[in-house]
Structure 1
């Protein structure tokens, strides 16, 4: 259920320009994960929170550094 909730959020988020709503729905997802109290999901959510600005920027700006990251790896 949590995986599907994340997929639903992501699919919606990549097709909208409403960044405030993207953030709001992401925070709603965080609450679902915290309520479920599943350690693996909780650790993943902490990573999301640590990188939240960058994650939200990826929806607001359609640029990618994937090519450069690939070169670095």
Structure 2
């Protein structure tokens, strides 16, 4: 994931928890908003795929849907 998205190269995972984290602003400044969005989207896809392996795709999808409904935006 990271080799495809250098914008995430030096980021600690905890920095991606909040969209208002200073690390996100720094990544946008260095790599642009499109590259940052693509990198974070890629990371979320991998995370959901891994979660699906652990708890099943249906449960992972429900968690993602509930997160989107409950204020992820």
**What TM-score range do you get, normalising by the shorter chain?**
0.3 to 0.5
More helix by share: 1
TM-score by length of 1: 0.40
